[in-house]
């Protein structure tokens, strides 16, 4: 057994049982993202969370 047999193998990207990638879509605008973290960032950045604190000058 050489060193390449002991090295960890990269797992393929997750996909559905049909072989196509799993996409996460925004309920508000329909945009799709490859992972939940990107969807979460989009929701909070583009749609807000409804509890923004007003800026006082």
CA distance 34 to 24: 6
pLDDT-derived band of residue 16, with 50, 70 and 90 as boundaries?
Answer: low
pLDDT score, position 8: 59
Residue 29 predicted with pLDDT over 90: yes
Q: Are 47 and 28 spatial neighbours (Cβ–Cβ below 8 Å)?
A: yes
CA distance 29 to 57: 33
pTM: 0.53
Which residues in 11-39 are b (16+ Cβ under 10 Å) and which e? eeeeeeeeeeeeeeeeeeeeeebeeeeeb
pLDDT score, position 55: 54
pLDDT-derived band of residue 41, with 50, 70 and 90 as boundaries?
Answer: very high
Q: Which residue has the higher pLDDT, 17 or 27?
A: 27
pLDDT score, position 20: 77
């Amino acid at each position: 057994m050489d060193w390449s047999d002991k090295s960890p193998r990269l797992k393929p990207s997750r996909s559905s049982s049909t072989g196509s990638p799993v996409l996460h879509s925004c309920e508000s605008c329909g945009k799709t993202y490859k992972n939940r973290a990107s969807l979460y960032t989009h929701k909070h950045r583009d749609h807000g969370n409804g509890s923004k604190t007003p800026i006082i000058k």
